Amino acid sequence: MDRIIVERIVCYGYHGVLLEEQTLGQEFQVSLEIGVDLSGHSEDHIDSVPDYRKAVSIVEEVMYGPSCRLLETLACRIADKLLIMPGIIETTVEVRKPNPPIPGVQGGVSVVVSRGK
């Protein structure tokens, strides 16, 4: 399986369980691994492959859309929308909260989901 990787799409959103997260918002980071089949690829044209700019737009649509309480919900929504794009066979989506409001957590919290057709 061939892969397109897009790392750390940064969005500011109002997602989370705590009222403060929903009111004040915080930074989120989203990374994508998109499975494609490029074995027959011979054209140097954007229409011959999945356009990762569209994938970034999908991430922004979800992250700037209706508020979710859970990272898991955000990751699943992004993955489901990516699989609708032509040429995408499977995807792995990581949604990361780099500064969660949890005492003692210094390295952030991530949820990773993988989906395929």
User: How does pLDDT run across 40-81, given as a tens digit for each residue?
Assistant: 877 787 878 899 999 999 999 999 999 999 999 999 999 999
Distance CA 98, CA 34 (A): 22
- Could you read off the pLDDT of 7-19 as tens digits, one per residue? 999 999 999 999 9
**Active site includes 97?**
yes
What amino acid occupies position 42? S
> Mind listing the domains of the chain with CATH numbers?
2-116 (3.30.1130.10)
**pLDDT score for 48:** 80
Lay out the sheet containing 2-13: strands in order across.
2-13, 26-36, 90-97, 109-116
pLDDT at 43: 79
Report the length, in residues, of the chain. 117
Tell me the pLDDT band of 29, cut-offs 50, 70 and 90.
very high
